[in-house]
Structure formats: structure tokens, C-alpha cells
Amino acid sequence: MTDNLLDRVAALVAVESPTGDLEALAAAAEAVRALLAPLGGRLREHPGEMGTHLVLELDGHGSDSAPVLLVGHYDTVWPVGTLQRMPWTVADGVARGPGGYDMKSGLVVAAAALSDVLASGRPHPPVRLVVVADEEVGSPTSTPLLRSLAEGARAALGFESPHPGGPLKRGRHGSTRLRLRVGGRSAHAALDPGSGISAVDELVDQLVRLRALVDRPGVLCNVGSLTAPGRTNVVTDAAEAEIGLRFADPAVEQEVMAAVRAMAPVRAGARLEVEVLSSRPAWVPAGSDELLTTALRVAAVLGVELDPAPAAGGADTNTTGSLGVPTLDGLGPWGAGAHAEHEQFEVAALEQRRRLVAELLLALA
């Protein structure tokens, strides 16, 4: 049975799907459709400017409970051609390949678990499975869809990778991507520097100010890119930076983002634009809920340790969790190397996760 699951992961990994590459994503969406087609149900497409998001709806059986939302994505951080230097391999119980760990193996687990649930003939709740195309850049086009699907949901299950070794994720830092765009005025850097306004100097000062704004516990700041096309003999009139922010506390998140949006130019005549590219609110779970209680009970029967704990990384479960929907994430196989050259997952985890998810869905009936 594990070989069959590995074949399904291999089929998805073979179709490279970097975020933003619409041609590649279209082919990958077709591969996801093929994975989900045997489940039946109603498969709807939601085209967007960053790719097509897929939603599968399955009716419940012998249960009048609210639906359970399953959450995943098929985009990856790897450009087309990565397979040539990072080929799909399986050796010594470990599978390797770009996007296999994050998170195409998780999609296979979700589909396999749903197949088991449907074949069991036992009561189960209705299911909504959403697979989005833009998660790796913060889900800017799919978040409204996620929010609508979360309405009325009894619980949400995320199929991202777990903590090392398999513990689930319950709680996530907020994650915001923003762009600082600065406009200045060009001039000759030697003959008439005083008439220019350096966008580069302005951007550097703004980044220093940003560092001061986020210098507090529970906030992470990473400047991911700097762009300033120009020449050394010309005062540059344009510059921008893309920045990632992480927040452990929703109140701090709101306070910092209000201050960031209020940032103003340092230099007279300079222009500053703060653009929020994507934003996922912090997910801070309340105490115990029915989903957690049920998951722990199922895991105990299966002899599985869940040990749910918060995660620093952001994902689409930020959205469901922040809306108050009981949520668990990390139901994909455990492994290592998300977004890294050594990306890999443990083959044995496929079957364990499949059984865990299937039994959890049945228990939620």
C-alpha cells in the first residue's frame, strides 16, 4: 500500500509547480485533479491571477454534523528545472524531491485518508477539501476563498509538514509580507548631487526605522530583497525592498502594522509607499476544544504521539485558526528540509498519517 502512496507523491512531484508560474501551475492543477477524481464528490475550480484553486466537497454519511475543512496547497518554492539537480529518489526509507515534503505528500495523505473514510461505510461528516495555488507567497488570492469555506466549519485540518519527528502544529505566528517602495529625484552624482533625492539613502533610513519598530519580543523581521536599478554616477530615483514579518501576539501585530502603515518619508520631496502583499493573522488557540480532545483520543488508540505545539512558520491554517475554527496542522508526513536542498520525508509516515486522519474524520462523525 505504501508503494501506491509513493507513486502518487512521485506523480505530483514530477509536475513542478513554482508559485506564480501559471503554465506550470496549470499542469500541476491537472495532476491534483487526477489525484482527487477517484473520490467523487463535487470538484470546483476557482481561477485566479496566481493560479487555479481547487475545492472538493464530499457529502456526509450518517452524520448531521457541520463540515470538516481540509487545507492544502500545490505550489512550491522551487523553479521549473529543479528536478534535474534534485531528482525524485527513494532510498533507506526516505523520499526526496522538490515539493515532496512541502507539501505534495500531505495532499496524498489527505486523498488516501478520504478514500479510506468513503470505503469504510461508517458515518462521517461532510468534508470540504481546498487546495490552493499561492500559499508559498502568503495566499494573497486564495485567502478570501479560505475564509468563505471556513464559515460554518466544525474543524479544520492542515496537511503541512509537522514539527520534526511528527508532533502536530497548534498555533502559528502571524505572517505579513510587505513592500517598501521609495521614489526620489535623479541627478548627476558629482556635478549636481544637491538637486537629487536618493531613493537608496531614503530606503536605507526607512529600513533602520522599521528595525526599531519591530524590536520587541515575539516579532521577527527579514529583509528578503532590495532593488535599486541605477548607476554610481547617478542619484537613484527609485528603490524598493520586500520584507517578511512574523508575530507571536495578535495585539503586537496590530500595533506594529499600524506603525508601519504610518511611516513617512525622512527626506523632503521623497515618496514612500507601504504595500502589504499578503497577511496572515496570528493563530493563538484557546484551551482544549473538541477537535484536540478527539485527536488525542484517536491517537492514543493508534499508539501515536501528537504533542501539539505552536509553530513559527505561517500557513493557511493561520486563517482558519484566527477565525476561531478548531484547527490542527502538521498532518503531512514528517521529514526535514522544507525550502532547502535536502527536502525529504519519511516513507513510513505516509501510512501512519493516512490512518490517523481517516480515524479522526470518522471519530468526528
Q: Give the H or E element holding residue 24.
A: helix 22-36
C-alpha distances out from residue 324 to 132, 172, 287, 320, 329, Å: 21, 13, 12, 7, 14
Write down the pLDDT at residue 63: 83
282-302 tens-digit pLDDT:
999 987 899 999 999 999 999
- Whether 160 and 36 map to the same domain: the answer is yes
Burial class (CB in 10 A: 0-12, 13-18, 19+), 119: exposed
Per-residue pLDDT, averaged over 249-271, amounts to 94
Number of domains composing the chain: 2
Per-residue pLDDT, averaged over 38-59, amounts to 97
- Whether 266 and 127 map to the same domain: the answer is no
Given the residues 16, 21, 75, 201, select the one marked as catalytic. 75
* 135 labelled catalytic: yes
- pLDDT band, residue 47 (cuts 50/70/90): very high
Q: Which domain holds residue 270?
A: 174-280
CA distance 152 to 68: 9
* 289 labelled catalytic: no
CATH number, residue 229: 3.30.70.360
**CA-based angle 128:343:127, to the nearest 5?**
5
Write down the pLDDT at residue 185: 97
CATH number, residue 86: 3.40.630.10
- Whether 247 and 304 map to the same domain: the answer is no
Give SS3 for 274.
strand
Write down the pLDDT at residue 1: 58
Given the residues 135, 253, 343, 359, select the one marked as catalytic. 135
Cβ atoms of 304 and 270 closer than 8 Å: no
Cβ atoms of 291 and 133 closer than 8 Å: no
CA distance 314 to 325: 16
Residue type, 239: A
- pLDDT band, residue 307 (cuts 50/70/90): very high
- Whether 9 and 54 map to the same domain: the answer is yes
- Whether 181 and 165 map to the same domain: the answer is no
Write down the pLDDT at residue 286: 82
